[in-house]
Structures are given as C-alpha cells and as structure tokens.
C-alpha cells in the first residue's frame, strides 16, 4: 500500500509538459514537381537567394527551432535557422 502511495506521490513530478509546433504542408506528387528547379536540403539562405533571386514573399520565423518560409512563384522553401529543410512545388 505504501508503494502505491509513493508512486502516486511521485507521478506528478515525472510528468512534464511537452509542446511542439505543427507545420502543415500539402502533399504534391512527384509527377507534379518534375522539371521545377528548386533549392535542395542543406543549402543556405544566401545560396538560395543567389540562385533564385529575392523571394516574392518572406514569412517570419515561427516556433523553436525557428522555421522560415520563402515563397517564390513556382515553389516554397522552408528553412530551419538558415538552412533549407525542404522545398515544395506550389499548386
């Protein structure tokens, strides 16, 4: 019985609140992205800017780690800190 009380007393100490940001992206089939040159994972913001020019729109960083979105006409680039994590073809 004391074991049960000990576990019950320690349980709230072992529970910690976990939070996360959710980033929703529409899926695009591979067929739709053929022939659309876009940034690759690991490229820096400077490299993307040099290769593709200034984006049409820049969405501010959100969350931790900070995720920034650069929107170009044919695609959107997602950065974590200063590096590309993915780029997707816009519909």
Query: pLDDT tens across 18-62, in order?
Result: 677 776 666 545 445 677 899 999 999 999 999 999 999 999 999
User: 67: buried, middle or exposed (CB in 10 Å: 19+, 13-18, 0-12)?
Assistant: middle
Res 36: pLDDT? 87
Exposure string for 26-47, b = 16+ CB within 10 A, e = fewer = eeeeeeeeeeeebbeeebebee
Q: Is the pTM of this model over 0.75?
A: no
The arithmetic mean of pLDDT across residues 68-86, rounded, is 97
Report whether 78 contacts 23 (CB < 8 A): yes
């Amino acid at each position: 019985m004391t074991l049960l009380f000990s576990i019950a007393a320690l349980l709230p100490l072992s529970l910690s609140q976990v939070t996360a940001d959710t980033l929703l992206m529409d899926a695009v089939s591979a067929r739709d992205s053929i022939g659309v040159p876009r940034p690759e994972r690991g490229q820096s913001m400077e490299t993307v800017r040099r290769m593709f020019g200034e984006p049409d729109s820049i969405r501010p960083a959100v969350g931790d780690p900070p995720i920034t979105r650069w929107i170009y006409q044919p695609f959107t680039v997602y950065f974590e800190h200063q590096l590309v994590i993915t780029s997707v073809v816009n519909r």
